[in-house]
Amino acid sequence: MAEQAKAQYDVLFLCTDNVTAMRYRRNRIAAFASLPATTLDRSSLSVRMNEIGHGEGAITPRNSAA
């Protein structure tokens, strides 16, 4: 019975983790889509894209001291 409970917990954890990952992805896509690409120069656009890529949910989050 304990193995079954652990298996159910693992499935729930994986589902929750996937939902969180999808939320992070959706938020990054929305942030990217809202960039004013026609008014940003290449360097500014690159900085903004890096900020989006290193935001909440990133594998290697940006160090807040940087």
Which pLDDT does position 23 carry in this prediction? 84
Q: What is the mean pLDDT of the chain?
A: 76
Of 6-15, 25-34, 50-59, the range with the highest mean pLDDT is 25-34
Confirm whether 34 is domain-assigned: yes
Tokens representing 23 are: 């939320």
Gyration radius of the chain over CA positions = 18
Confirm whether 13 is domain-assigned: yes
State how many domains the chain has.
1
Confirm whether 22 is domain-assigned: yes
pLDDT over 80 at 9, yes or no: no
Confirm whether 32 is domain-assigned: yes
Counting runs of H as helices and runs of E as strands, what totals does the chain give? Answer: 2, 0
What range does the domain containing 32 cover?
A: 2-53
Instruction: Give 66's pLDDT tier (boundaries 50, 70, 90).
Output: very low
